[in-house]
Structure 1
Amino acid sequence: MQGKRASERGAALLTVLLLVAIVGAMAAGTMEKLTLATRQASNANAMEQANAWSRAAATMALVRIEAVLGQDRSRVSLAGGWSDHPFPLPIPEGTATARVLDAGNCFNLNSLVVRTGADSYAVRMPGVLQFARLMRLLGVAGGDTIAAATADWIDSDGDPIAGGAEDAAYSGFQPVYRPANTLMADVSELRAVVGVTPQIYAALRPYVCALPTEQPTTVNVNTLAPERGALIAAMAPDTIGVDQVRRALLSRPAEGWASTSDFWSRGPLSGSNAGDAQAATAVTTHWFALTTDVAIGRITLHQTGLIDARRPRPRLVALQSGEGV
């Protein structure tokens, strides 16, 4: 009888221990979930704050750009060291900085087309020829077909131009996709165009952009880096060399040229046949690129944006995490 009672007490104790173990495991799981939820909520709150400070930094950049543009907006130069210079925004328990630089010194891929309707576009052949010329100057093989294929990627119809590519050219890819047939939303779309390899994209990236307009850019000769002189040389019908443009840019006055005539009529480009290139240059800027970096505790946020300075007051038209224009 006593052995039976001892056995029952042992079974009861084992049951109690098992229940304690189960309750302990449940409590540990609950605590782990609670800790995770608390951490997620904390991170979400910190990310919200980081986004808010990023927009505050963007607002600060708009004020800075107004100062760079000046009252008459007749000239934008690198004087004052504003380009790509970090402007800090003091924030509690963290840091926030904004950088701006000229975003118009590039070949606008969307200028490969002209608008023919509310949501329709047709190929602009002068733009295709200029893009192909730029690639030749950069030593990119197959530039003629890439330029044509890029124009077909954007234009609204389904008929390829000479050397171009429409739906059929993409049907063999895995996964299968088709041309966008509208303006590029981001320059990274160029990577999807047939013929554009990672190496070609890397070579072109410093020279191209995808602005939210089909209008060609005007290159600011007061802010263009000499090593990107191919942008201007590509505008001329093979009558100006890249080295000529670089030497001209290296002779730039500290305060910049007062007019494009000064740039074209003096120094290495004097007497050259500029063709349409002179009309495609300027001494002021209409688009600015924005970069913001925010760090709060363990949270970091890097965003890029685009500022439209064509209006009386510059305005932010895009701000996103990613590569940007």
Structure 2
Amino acid sequence: MKREGREESGAALLTVLLLVAVMAVIAATALDRLMLATRIAGSAATVDQGRAYTFAAEQIALRRVSSLVSRDKARLTLDGGWLGRDFTLPLPGGQGRARLTDANNCFNLNSLVAEVTPGTFSPRSGATGQFAALMKLIGINDGQAQQIAGATADWIDSDSNDGPLGAEDNVYRGMQASYLAANRKMADISELRAVRGVTPKIYAQLKPWICVLPVAVPVRLNINTLTPEQAPLIAMLMPGKITIADARAALAARPAGGYGSSVRFWEGRAFEGLDPPQDIAEQAGVNSRWLALTTNVTMGDGVLTARSLIDANGGAASAGQAAPTIVRRDWGDSD
């Protein structure tokens, strides 16, 4: 009887210990999930607060752009030190930085096509030549440059016919991971990585020089905000006729208050004897419709980055007719 009593007591003790162990595991799991939920809720609140600060920074930038436009509707210059300068945003419980840059001074990939009818795009041969010239100027092989320029124009245009050195659906279907050409305007420069011939190395070379704007119009640079380091953008306008050295000299000779018109720019000593066609001459303008705002908000250990595209014309045909507006916003670091 005593032995049976001891066995029953031992079994009861094991049962109790097992229950305690199970309850401890359940409690630990519940506590871990509670801590995780708390962290997620805290992170969500931090992100929401960071986004609210970003929206506030956008409103400050829009007012600044509106002030710049109202000061001189005909041109935009570097006066005031607004371009490429970090502005500190005093934030409670965090820190913010905002930088405004000229988004005109790049090669707009959507300029490779022209909108012939609403929603229908056809290749723009002049822009394709300029894109190929830009690639050669920054060190990309001539053959690769020609193929990438043609394939990019085919990627955006509305038809399915291969252009000169281009690539359409039949090419992409034959790849190991088959896909189709977009046949529409690009929304982000990262789409260029899907175009035939664009390797990671070439994409890294091109990235500082290209952009995607929501309009399919010829590239329009602002010679009053271009830096001498961006001289290849001027040299690409007339391939073989403008050297990087000449373009750099023209930008370095810019008057303190900027050029009053593109005519003064082309009449400079650096371009002596050069008579660009009117459509090419107009690609070197003195105003900017598109501006880019980069905002970095730090809250605790988290950093929220936003890139906003500003239309200084507010959708109107020219500056001053409507208030500047945000047309696109991207969250997170760029690729």
TM range (shorter): over 0.9
With over 3 angstroms needed to count, the CA separation of the structure-2 counterparts of 1:111 and 1:322, relative to structure 1, is farther
* CA–CA separation in structure 2 for the residues paired with 1:241 and 1:97: 37
CA positional deviation for 1:237: 4.8
1:323 and 1:30 map into 2 onto residues whose CA distance is 35
For residues 154-233 of structure 1, the aligned pairs below 5 Å read 154-233=156-235
2:68 and 2:16 mapped to 1: Cα distance? Answer: 76
Shift, 1:223, TM fit? 0.5
Taking only aligned residues, the RMSD between alpha carbons, in angstroms, comes to: 1.7
The residue type paired with residue 200 of structure 2 is P
Partners of 1:122 and 1:317 in 2: CA distance? 24
In structure 1, what is the Cα distance between the partners aligned to 2:22 and 2:236?
A: 74
Q: 1:62, 1:314 within 8 Å by CA — same for their partners in 2?
A: yes
TM-score (norm 1): 0.95
Cα distance in structure 2, aligned partners of 1:291 and 1:247: 30
For residues 249-281 of structure 1, the C-alpha deviation after alignment (integer angstroms, 9 at most, x for no partner) is 111122211221222213322332323432111
Instruction: Give the conservation status (yes or no) of the 8 Å contact 1:232–1:277.
Output: no
Q: Which residue of 1 aligns with 2:147?
A: 145
1:108 alignment counterpart: 108
Contact 1:120 1:155 in 2 (8 A): yes
CA distance in structure 2 between the aligned counterparts of 1:30 and 1:135, rounded to whole angstroms? 58
SS at the partner of 1:111? helix
- Range 90-99 or range 252-261, more displaced: 252-261
Separation in structure 2 between the aligned mates of residue 79 and residue 321 of structure 1, nearest angstrom:
30
The 1:31–1:222 alpha-carbon spacing in structure 2 relative to 1, beyond 3 Å, is same
What is the alpha-carbon distance in structure 2 between the residues aligned to residue 323 and residue 134 of structure 1? Answer: 26
5+ residue gaps, structure 1, are: none
Flag the 1:95–1:145 CA change in 2: closer, same or farther, 3 A: same
Shift of 1:125: 1.3
1:78-97 equivalence runs, <5 A: 78-97=78-97
Q: Deviations over 1:158-192 (max 9, x none)?
A: 10111111011112323211110000011111111
Question: Residues 250-265 of structure 1: matches in 2 within 5 Å?
Answer: 250-265=252-267
Aligned length: 325
Gaps (5+ residues) in structure 2?
315-321
Q: What residue is the counterpart of 1:20 in the other structure?
A: 20
Corresponding residue for 2:285? 282
Give how far 1:324 is off: 6.1
Q: What percentage of residue pairs aligned between the two structures are identical?
A: 44
Provide the C-alpha distance between the structure 1 equivalents of 2:45 and 2:73, rounded to a whole number of angstroms. 40
**In structure 1, what residue type is equivalent to 2:170?**
A
- Partner in structure 2 of residue 319 of structure 1: 329
Q: How does 1:34-113 map to 2 (within 5 A)?
A: 34-113=34-113
CA contact (8 A) 1:251 1:267 kept: no
Q: Alpha-carbon deviation of 1:205?
A: 1.7
What is the TM-score when the length of structure 2 is the normalising length?
A: 0.92
The alpha-carbon deviation at position 322 of structure 1 amounts to 4.5
Contact 2:114–2:124, Cα closer than 8 Å, also in 1: yes
Contact 1:111 1:215 in 2 (8 A): yes
